[in-house]
Amino acid sequence: MSNELKKMREQVDEMYGAASLGLTAEVIVHEFETVIDKLLLLNNRLRQHLKKTGSNDTQLHFHETELRTYLSALRKQLSHLSPSLRYVKEKREVIRLEAFVAGVKEYHDGRFEGSPIVLKTSTKTDFHIRMNRGKVTQVLDNLIFNSEYWLKEDLRLKRLDKGEIRVTIDHPCLRVEDNGRGVEADVETSLFEPFVTTKPRGKGRGLGLFIVRQLLDTEACTVDLLNKRNKHGNRYIFEINFSESVVGSRAHHPIPKRCSNAS
């Protein structure tokens, strides 16, 4: 009993730690946005000064342009995180999945630049949903981060030469898969439960996929690990069913209870 109690206390500590981390991230992002705006303003004044004085200092012009480019890129990265933070979580909007996924791809392409991991997207049938953008962002990010971690492990162990994450839009669902080894059989049925992880201690809390399911539950949507197996004999395709959040003409686009290829 004492061991079980100790484990429960550790899990509660992990949950509080995750919540605290989210609040800290909210503050940090806000402060970073403020600092970036101030730096861009100062950089703009420098650019105006160089133009006004007719400076021919090519090195200074180069650094001014480079700084502006990096600051703009950093602000774009932060803008991807902002919708997931607490102060906008209650807002719902109509989201076109293809455009939304394109934005997520742009963010992760910047993260994967120079690495052997690529993110590919495809659309079979596009559709719209009414949901909180922050929730959808967090859901898709968590699935991509999960794939990224295991692909990096496969790359480190020389099991792969190149990692590939694929996101497919197929009304009314979205699927995320990768070319890694897939989900280990001993956790495939408990993967969405809290604190279930095969990552080494200190590398993961086992909360990412649990949070994905909880966020979708609040919108009556679902996420499942499909039964289809890869060449390693492991299940590997995560499928989100947005049926309950789809908007548009149901007469022209009947919404099935299950995705067309769910198995």
3-state secondary structure the chain: CHHHHHHHHHHHHHHHHHHHHHHHHHHHHHHHHHHHHHHHHHHHHHHHHHHHHCCCCHHHHHHHHHHHHHHHHHHHHHHHHHHHCHHHCCCCEEEEHHHHHHHHHHHHHHHHCCCCEEEEEEEEECCEEEECHHHHHHHHHHHHHHHHHHHHHHHHCCCCCCEEEEEEEECCEEEEEECCCCECHHHCCCCCCCCCCCCCCCCCCCCHHHHHHHHHHCCCCEEEECCCECCCCCECCEEEECHHHEECCCCCCCCCCCCCCCC
Domains and CATH numbers, the chain: 2-87 (no CATH), 93-247 (3.30.565.10)
Q: Look at residue 97 and tell me whether its pLDDT is greater than 90.
A: yes
Q: What is the mean pLDDT of residues 191-201?
A: 67
- Check pLDDT > 70 for residue 105: yes
Is 186 or 257 the better-scoring residue by pLDDT? 186
Residue 119, pLDDT above cutoff 90 = yes
pLDDT at 256 over 60: no
Mean pLDDT of the chain: 80
In this predicted structure, the answer to whether residue 147 has a pLDDT above a threshold of 50 is yes
Against a cut of 0.85, is the pTM above it? no
Q: What number is the average pLDDT over the span 111-135?
A: 93
Share of the chain above pLDDT 90, in %: 40
Q: What average pLDDT does range 201-230 have in this prediction?
A: 82
